[in-house]
Amino acid sequence: MSKFVRGFRTGLCLALALSAPVGAAQTGAVPHAMLESMAASQSAYKDYMLNCGGCHRFDGQGVARNAVPSFLNSIGLFTRLPEGREYMIRVPGAAQSQLGNAELADVLNWMVANFSPETVASDFRPFTAGEVGAVRPYRFDDVVAARRQLEARLQTLGLTPAPYLYGSN
């Protein structure tokens, strides 16, 4: 494991521990242990690096000038909406990857836990192979339009995901 990943995980765990409200388990907050477990998956980390890291970068920052959105403090917002979860599964890079459904579910959980844990809703539930398999075959006719609709819906909830500049002038 690289020093960056080890340090990132240590910092993430510390940040989650310090930011968790007292009594979070009783108030319905996402269990710290669940996020920590998802963040620690070595197989999901490797699958992310091989299938997603080339565009979204090893640190999830994306490349704005190439219209690749950042995952940082953003990807978890999509998990708040059923259509946002579907978007994450159906986006071409995910849906058309060589990963199996369980592997893709693990990568999506790893991304949320590592890049955007503070943005998930208190009732967050991890992605499952069944959920991925149920929606993955349905390709977007226009992924940009789907993203714009999700952004608008999230903004009505007072949430702003990272900018997606593909198709912008």
- Return d(Cα 79, Cα 67) in angstroms, integer: 21
Q: How many CA atoms lie within 13 A of 75 on its CB side?
A: 24
Q: Is pLDDT at 122 greater than 90 in this prediction?
A: no
pLDDT in tens, 23-60: 333 334 677 888 898 999 999 999 999 999 888 989 99
Among 31, 58, 32, which Cα is nearest to 45's? Answer: 58
Among 150, 52, 143, 141, which Cα is nearest to 104's? Answer: 52
- Return d(Cα 30, Cα 19) in angstroms, integer: 12
125 contact partners, CB below 8 Å, separation of at least 6: none
- Return d(Cα 147, Cα 135) in angstroms, integer: 16
- Of 132 and 61, which is predicted with more confidence? 132
Per-residue tokens: 45: 């980390």
- Return d(Cα 151, Cα 157) in angstroms, integer: 10
Among 45, 43, 20, 41, which Cα is nearest to 30's? Answer: 20
- Of 11 and 104, which is predicted with more confidence? 104
Q: Is pLDDT at 156 greater than 50 in this prediction?
A: yes
What integer pLDDT is reported at residue 24 of this predicted model? Answer: 35
Element (H, E) at 66: none
pTM of the model: 0.80
43 contact partners, CB below 8 Å, separation of at least 6: 103, 106
What integer pLDDT is reported at residue 11 of this predicted model? Answer: 44
SS3 string, 140-151, reads CCCHHHHHHHHH
